[in-house]
Amino acid sequence: MRYFSLSATRVNTERLLTHNMLQCHVKNCRPNESFPLTIKDPELERTEAEFNPDFMRGLVPKLDWTALRKTAGALGLGDLPAEMPEATDEFLQMLHALVLETRVVSGSMVCDVCHHVFPITNGIPNMLLQADEV
């Protein structure tokens, strides 16, 4: 195996897959209630990634569908059905585009319960808290 250096590669910025994994963890907040974090002022980017149906099928059970549906709706990326549809090729392609190819370059994620703001800068979400918030 041979590796090549960086110039032609693009950076990895926060995918909606990662957003689907992040929760508010401020002390005494109710993370289940505030999940998913609301994305504010997003600069979105779509980057192409190779589609692998097996990879996507294996990813489906690890996603929180309700949270993904809410986020996709809020970002105007489409109305997903309330129940996760059957894993047809077409559905997996849609999901691939949504969770792996859609990235948040900048903006913030806001907790709807405690209103904490987690900034996203250069595609990296900042989940660190102040000492008195832990």
Partner 1 sequence: MIPTPDLAALKPFLPDVYDPAEDTFLLLDALEGDADALRTRHAPSPSPAAAETPTPLKASTAPLVTTPFIVEIGPGSGCVLAFLAALVGCNAVYWGVDMNPKACAATRAVAAANRVRHSDVVMGDLTAAMAARLCGQVDVLVFNPPYVPTDDEELAAAAPAGAADSGPVGIAAAWAGGVAGRVVIDRLMPQVKALLSPRGAFYLVVVRENRPDELARLAREQWGLRPRMLMERKAGYEGLGVMKFEHVSDE
Where does this chain bind Zn ion (CB under 5 A)? 24, 26, 29, 34, 111, 113-114, 116
Smallest gap, in angstroms, from Cβ of residue 79 to partner 1? 21
Query: Out of partner 1, Zn ion, none, which partner does residue 114 contact, by CB within 5 to 8 A per kind?
Result: Zn ion
What DSSP designation does 89 have? H
CA nearest to 98, candidates 64, 72, 70? 72
DSSP assignment of 10-78, as one string?
Answer: PPP-EEHHHHTT-----TT--HHHHPSPEEEEEEEEE------HHHHHHHGGGS-HHHHHHHHHHTTS-
Question: Does residue 82 belong to the site contacting partner 1 (CB under 8 A)?
Answer: no
Question: Does residue 129 belong to the site contacting partner 1 (CB under 8 A)?
Answer: yes
Q: For residue 85, give both structure tokens.
A: 């549809």
Whichever of 57 and 74 has its CB closer to partner 1, that residue is 57
Please give the residues from 13 up to 52 whose contact with partner 1 meets the rule CB under 8 A: 13-15, 17-18, 20-25, 31-32, 35, 49-50, 52
Question: Does residue 55 belong to the site contacting partner 1 (CB under 8 A)?
Answer: yes
Q: How far is Cα 57 from Cα 76, in angstroms, rounded to an integer? A: 24
Whichever of 80 and 111 has its CB closer to Zn ion, that residue is 111
Tokens 């405690």, residue located: 114
Give contact residues for partner 1 (rule: CB under 8 A): 1, 3-6, 9-15, 17-18, 20-25, 31-32, 35, 49-50, 52-62, 64, 86-89, 92, 100, 118, 122-131, 133-134
